[in-house]
Amino acid sequence: MDVHDSHSSFIQTPKQLVVVILLAFLVPISVIILLVQLATSRPSADPSALSAEAVSKRLQPVGTVEFGAPQAAPGARTGEGIVKTVCAACHQAGVANAPKIGDAKDWAPRIKTGLKQLVSTALKGKGAMPARGGDASLTDAEVERAVVYLANQAGANFKEPAAPKEAAKPQPQARAPAAPAAAKPAAGANGKPVYDKVCMVCHAQGVAGAPKLGDKAAWAPRIQQGINTLVQSATKGKGAMPPKGGNASLSDAEIRAAVEFMVSQSK
């Protein structure tokens, strides 16, 4: 009976012996070569990282500041924009029987008179509505655009006049020396332009019970409430007066300045 050794070698042939010997030399040598390369190698720069485009991209600031487009110059304002900033003060809520925006029944008899008559009325003013809606900076074409927009919202099909071509940009001029700082204006002085453009529409004539500018008797009980209460009422709206006088673009500071101006003129 043959007895086999359980611990016999896996090398059974001369060929296997040769392979084992070669591996015994090659594997350690390969490991040594890799270790040497790892120890002596130096990091190399990516050639593409030095290109002008890559360098410019890395030099860009973390954040950027973008400014909104400037407001349209007089003569180039759209009908919709004028309605929102000027006409909505009365036409949004129907102050003093002004035809409401989008109310076909209110506008029907007016639309029948024709665009020319509507524009003429808006330019000259009628009833509680002052000339040009109270904004003297509006051009005839802008008033017509606003009228067209209002009428078309109520079912008309008037054609809006085209905006004028953009005028050539003026050449930059040398800056004049800075003027000395002016004295601080009196309280409410900065509010006059806001009053002239927005608030005057109702407060000049006392439309819908609005206290007239300079009417001390009408303003006295309101002034007693305090300036903050008046500013809050002007900001949020009260009665027939819409929020911010119908001009949503007004800032809180402009609202306060306008209120201070009216109070200063009515004490």
CA dist., res. 258 & res. 244, Å (int): 10
Beta bridge partners of 168: none
pLDDT-derived band at 185 (thresholds 50, 70, 90) equals very low
CA dist., res. 235 & res. 250, Å (int): 9
Same-fold call for 79-153 versus 189-264: yes
For 110-168, the pLDDT digits (tens) are 989 998 998 898 888 888 788 888 888 889 998 899 899 998 998 889 888 776 555 44
Q: Would you call 264 exposed, middle or buried from its count of C-beta atoms within 10 A (0-12, 13-18, 19+)? A: middle
Question: Which of 135-144, 168-177, 240-249 has the lowest average pLDDT?
Answer: 168-177
Q: Amino acid identity, residue 196?
A: D
Each domain of the chain, given as residue ranges in start order, spans 79-153, 189-264
- What pLDDT, on a 0 to 100 scale, did the predictor assign at position 29? 87
CA dist., res. 200 & res. 246, Å (int): 12
Q: What is the pTM of this model?
A: 0.50
For residue 188, pLDDT over 60 is answered with no
- What pLDDT, on a 0 to 100 scale, did the predictor assign at position 68? 46
Fold of 189-264: Cytochrome Bc1 Complex; Chain D, domain 2 (1.10.760)
| Class of the domain covering 79-153 | mainly alpha
Structure tokens at 84: 């929102």
Contacts of 219 (CB under 8 A, 6+ apart): 211, 262, 263, 266, 267
With residues binned 3-state (H G I as helix, E B as strand, rest as coil), the percentages for the chain, rounded to 5, are 55, 0, 45
